[in-house]
Structure formats: C-alpha cells, structure tokens
Amino acid sequence: MKETFVLQFGGKDTNSSDLKAIAKKIYTDAGHKASEIKKLDLYVQPEVNKVYFVVNSDSAAEFKGDFDF
C-alpha cells in the first residue's frame, strides 16, 4: 500500500516525508547517527507553524526538538 499525507494550512503544503527528513537532519546535526533512530514521533501544530518531534521516546536516549515549517 502506498500512502500520501499532505498538510495544507495557511497557503502552505508539506508532507510527512519532508517533516521526517527535517527532524532527522536536526537529530544528526546534533551529533547523533541516523541509524540510532528507532522511533520518531512528530507533532504538527499548524496554527503556530511548528513541528515538535521526539526521537526514541521510550528510551534514556530521548531527543526532543522543534522547527518551523
């Protein structure tokens, strides 16, 4: 099954692949390896133009971040 997720809000379009890629880049830019990602949770709040994310939320190595989209 192929799926597509597109968020349209305030004249902007974004998709889940783009949001995941940005979160992963922030994680790796912070000195972590992409292979360390076991779980990625994204929380999109379009009304404030923010995406909050948590990497490996079930472990001691939890990493939190956010970005504008």
Q: Is residue 4 within 8 Å of 15, Cβ to Cβ?
A: yes
**Segment (H or E) for 48:** none
Q: What is the pLDDT of residue 59?
A: 85
CA distance 22 to 1: 24
Q: The pTM is what?
A: 0.87
Per-residue pLDDT of the chain (69 residues), as tens digits, is 998 899 999 898 999 999 999 999 999 999 999 999 999 999 999 989 999 999 999 888 899 998 898
Q: What is the pLDDT of residue 40?
A: 96
